Amino acid sequence: MKPKELPGILFKALQLKLTSLETLQGANKQGLPVQVSLTSIPSRIDKLHYTIRSLMLQNCLPQRIVLWLHHELKAKIPRQLAILEGDLFSIRYSEFTCSHRKLVHTLEEFPDSIIVTCDDDVIYPVDWLEMLYQEHLVYPDQVIANRCNMIAYDSEGNTLPYRQWIKNVTPGTSSMAIMPAGYGGVLYPPGALLAETTDSKLYLKLAPKADDLWFKAMSFLNGTLCRRAEHVSQKPTPVLGTQSLTLGASNIKLDKNREQWDALRAHYQFKTPDPELPGGNIKPSTGK
C-alpha cells in the first residue's frame, strides 16, 4: 500500500462501517444464481465485517454469502460480524483450518451451483460480482478470474520458481495455462472441477497451503479452460491491519508454490501447457 492510498482506504472503510443494517439486509436488488464463499483466520476476524459488508452491498446480490470458519471460533465471533448474519449472509463451521475451505465445503453443499470465491482481507467494488457473472454468461463452461498467473517451466519441463511465473495475463484470455488467483475473485461453474476436489486427504497431502494450485490442478485435469475476465473490475481495496500474515507471502518467499505444484504434478503425472511455446497456448477465446 502506498501512503497516498491511505485516505481513500480509510474513507471506504468508514463508509461501510456507517452503512445501516437495514440497508445491508433489506436492499431490493437483482439477485444472481450464485453462491459467494470465503474463509478466514483468527487474526482477521475482528475486521472481517468490512469484507462482508462490501459483499452485501453489491449491485447484484448472490443467493447467499457463506463464511467458513474453524469450529473453535464459534464462541468468538465479534459483534460487528455476528449482527450481519441473516438470510443473505451466514457463518458455517469446519473441522479444517486450511484455506481450501472457501470452496470445498460450498462445493459439497451446493454441487450444482455457480460458486464465486473471494478473499477475506479486502473491500470489493460494488460491481465486482455482476461483472464476473456477466462474463460467465458468455463463457459458461470456463473458470473466470479477475487476477491470474501462468505457470512457467524451463526448457526441460521443470517448474520455474514462482517469481518467474507470468503475471501479466491479458484480459480476455482463455488458456489451459492460466492459474486463477483467488485475491480478485474466481467464478467456478458447476462441473468445472474433478469430483476429488473435496478429498481432504489429497489436498492436505499435496498442496496444504496452496488452495489456488489445488483448484487449478482439479480444473486442468477435468479439461476446463480458465479465463482472465475481459472486463476486469476495479482492484479491491485492502482492509487495514489484515495484510501482515498471508499464505502468499510465505509461499513466495520460501518458493512453496513451486514445491506444492511439483507435488501435484508428480502425483497426477501432468504438465500444463508452456505459455511461451511457439504458436502459443495463450489465446483470446470466443464465447459459446
Tell me the pTM. Answer: 0.91
More confident of the two residues 207 and 282? 207
What is the C-alpha separation between 184 and 95, in angstroms, rounded?
Answer: 26
Q: Strands, E, within the chain: which ranges?
A: 34-39, 64-70, 89-94, 114-117, 122-123, 143-145, 148-150, 173-175, 178-180, 186-188, 226-228, 237-238, 283-284
C-alpha distance from residue 28 to each of 23, 58, 98, 188, 260 (Å): 9, 11, 35, 26, 44
**Which of 109, 99, 121 is closest to 39 using CA atoms?**
99
Is pLDDT of 13 > 90?
no
Is pLDDT of 192 > 70?
yes
Do the Cβ atoms of 86 and 57 come closer than 8 Å? Answer: no
- pLDDT tens per residue across span 155-191: 999 999 999 999 889 999 999 999 999 889 999 999 9
CATH architecture of 32-275: Alpha-Beta Complex (3.90)
For the chain, the structural domain boundaries read 32-275
- pLDDT tens per residue across span 103-139: 999 999 999 999 999 999 999 999 999 999 999 999 9
Is pLDDT of 97 > 80?
yes
pLDDT of res. 282: 43
Count Cβ atoms below 10 Å from residue 1 Cβ, excluding itself. 10
Helix (H, G, I), strand (E, B) or coil at 68: strand
Do the Cβ atoms of 240 and 9 come closer than 8 Å? Answer: yes
Q: What average pLDDT is seen over the chain?
A: 89
How would you class 224 by CB atoms within 10 Å of its CB: exposed for 0-12, middle for 13-18, buried for 19 or more?
A: buried
Torsion sign, CA atoms 100, 243, 180, 269: negative
Least confident piece of the model among 15-29, 68-82, 96-110, 203-217: 15-29
More confident of the two residues 286 and 42? 42
Ranges of H-type helices in 207-255? 211-221, 247-253
